[in-house]
């Protein structure tokens, strides 16, 4: 048993570690998990004592409400190790706040900050050898919560399970990305759950993305559900457009996720003196910009890849290729953000938190 800053956690150590069996130079993203996981159950109207135990499957009743009514949310975070072997988190309070906003939207109980934050830090201390040094190496963190109460009546569950699992990761690169601008399918709608990191948001994207893949495109730039004229997100990432020397990105809303990487890139760009405008960008603006040569870059922004450049897009069956960019804002901002995350540059924003 161990005591953290403000909560008591039951700790059950694994008898052996599988870390020696892992090829850390050849990691497929999100496929390998560390030796331990954290779980905390909500029952009888209260959160129970958190437990850190060996990573393993667990039993669930077939009528558990997560299976029938989709009460499931998650977050994506990373831990980094500096050259002095210290482990750092990047803006974890933002993930905690957003996690509970998602919980509230899906009528799930808020997770107490000590359970989330202190539980995560204790888990990372146990698994610190899984965080490898070197730029490009990280430990991906997946906090999530599911409804475990039983019964198939259409109502919120009375029981839940909060968990954190960890997965070692290398630098994420998906190759050249070409996208289709959505004309029919939507990622989210006003009044819906698009701003929550709800599992159902992602499953709803799989079919239209499959159709895009079949046409030779890797992702979709989603448009607003009402008119399909406003550019919103790219795949599972927030999206930026560089037209001339200005960066544009859509404002967060009920349809658009409040991405931690997105807001960090905006602050970094402003610090570097780059012009940023947070406003809706129209599909017609993008087509006009690529036709007149002022469209310089499109890139997605998210935890896994940080920045993912997009080299071209299709709209109404016409494909537009972006010209090569020598002075890439995307790559500059990614480098500066990575340097802060890996403690290779001064964190003037106070974003990094030592474990």
pLDDT digits (tens, 9 = 90+) for 216-266: 999 999 999 999 999 999 999 999 999 999 999 999 999 999 999 999 999
- Give the confidence band of 305 by pLDDT, cuts at 50, 70, 90: confident
Which pLDDT value is given to residue 5?
Answer: 52
Residue 153, token pair as written in the block = 């009546």
Q: Residue 105 pLDDT more than 70?
A: yes
**Contacts with 228 (C-beta within 8 Å, 6 or more apart), sequence order:** 182, 183, 184, 186, 283
- Give the confidence band of 304 by pLDDT, cuts at 50, 70, 90: confident
- Give the confidence band of 312 by pLDDT, cuts at 50, 70, 90: very high
Largest CA distance in the chain: 65
- Give the confidence band of 113 by pLDDT, cuts at 50, 70, 90: very high
Residues 185-205 have a mean pLDDT of 93
Tell me the HSE value of 36 on the side-chain side, using a 13 A CA sphere: 24
Instruction: Tell which residue, 306, 290, 299, has the closest CA to residue 339.
Output: 306
Alpha helix positions (H), the chain:
65-69, 92-105, 113, 119-126, 199-214, 260-271, 283-292, 329-341
Q: Residue 44 pLDDT more than 60?
A: yes
**Contacts with 315 (C-beta within 8 Å, 6 or more apart), sequence order:** 180, 181, 183, 283, 286, 287
Q: Residue 3 pLDDT more than 50?
A: no
pTM, rounded to two decimals: 0.94
DSSP symbols for 86-121: -EEEESHHHHHHHHHHHHHHTT-PPPPHIIIIIHHH
Residues 293-304 have a mean pLDDT of 95
Which pLDDT value is given to residue 294?
Answer: 96
Residue located via tokens 């839940």: 160
Residues 272-294 have a mean pLDDT of 97
Which pLDDT value is given to residue 266?
Answer: 98
Residue 71, token pair as written in the block = 């009460």
The DSSP element (H or E) to which 303 belongs, if any, is none
Percentage, residues of the chain above pLDDT 90 = 92
Measured CA to CA, the distance from residue 222 to residue 212 in angstroms comes to 12
Full set of structural domains in the chain with CATH: 2-171 (3.30.470.10), 177-341 (3.20.10.10)
Angle CA 132–134–137, to nearest 5: 55
- Give the confidence band of 146 by pLDDT, cuts at 50, 70, 90: very high
- Give the confidence band of 28 by pLDDT, cuts at 50, 70, 90: confident
With 0-12 / 13-18 / 19 or more C-beta atoms within 10 angstroms meaning exposed / middle / buried, residue 31 is exposed
Percentage, residues of the chain above pLDDT 70 = 98
Measured CA to CA, the distance from residue 303 to residue 257 in angstroms comes to 12
Which pLDDT value is given to residue 4?
Answer: 42
Which pLDDT value is given to residue 99?
Answer: 98
The DSSP element (H or E) to which 322 belongs, if any, is none
Which pLDDT value is given to residue 204?
Answer: 92
- Give the confidence band of 2 by pLDDT, cuts at 50, 70, 90: very low
With 0-12 / 13-18 / 19 or more C-beta atoms within 10 angstroms meaning exposed / middle / buried, residue 173 is exposed
């Amino acid at each position: 048993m161990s005591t953290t800053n403000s909560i008591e956690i039951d700790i059950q150590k694994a008898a052996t570690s599988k870390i020696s069996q892992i090829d850390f130079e050849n990691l497929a993203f999100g496929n390998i998990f560390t030796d331990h996981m954290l779980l905390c159950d909500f029952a009888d109207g209260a959160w129970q004592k958190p437990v850190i135990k060996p990573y393993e499957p667990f039993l669930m009743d077939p009528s558990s409400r997560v299976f029938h009514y989709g009460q499931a949310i998650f977050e994506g975070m990373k831990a980094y190790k500096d050259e002095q072997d210290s482990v750092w988190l990047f803006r974890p309070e933002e993930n905690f706040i957003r996690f509970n906003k998602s919980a509230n939207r899906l009528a799930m109980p808020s997770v107490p900050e000590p359970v989330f934050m202190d539980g995560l830090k204790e888990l990372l201390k146990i698994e610190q050898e899984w965080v490898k040094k070197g730029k490009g190496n990280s430990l991906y963190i997946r906090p999530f919560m599911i409804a475990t109460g039983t019964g198939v009546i259409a109502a919120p569950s009375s029981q839940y399970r909060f968990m954190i699992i960890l997965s070692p990761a290398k630098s994420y690169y998906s190759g050249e990305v070409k996208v289709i601008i959505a004309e029919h399918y939507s990622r989210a709608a006003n009044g819906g759950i698009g701003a929550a990191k709800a599992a159902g948001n992602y499953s709803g994207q799989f079919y239209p993305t499959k159709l895009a893949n079949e046409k030779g495109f890797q992702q979709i730039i989603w448009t607003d559900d009402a008119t399909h004229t406003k550019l919103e997100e790219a795949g599972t990432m927030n999206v930026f457009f560089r037209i001339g020397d200005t960066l544009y990105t859509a404002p967060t809303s009920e349809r658009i996720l409040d991405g931690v990487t997105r807001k960090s890139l905006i602050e970094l760009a402003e610090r570097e003196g780059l012009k940023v405008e947070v406003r809706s960008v129209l599909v017609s603006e993008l087509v006009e910009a690529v036709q007149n040569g002022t469209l310089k870059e499109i890139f997605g922004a998210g935890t896994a890849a940080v920045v993912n450049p997009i080299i071209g897009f299709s709209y109404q069956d016409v494909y537009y290729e972006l010209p090569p960019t020598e002075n890439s804002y995307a790559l500059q901002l990614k480098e500066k953000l990575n340097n802060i995350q890996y403690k290779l540059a001064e964190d003037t924003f106070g974003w990094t938190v030592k474990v």
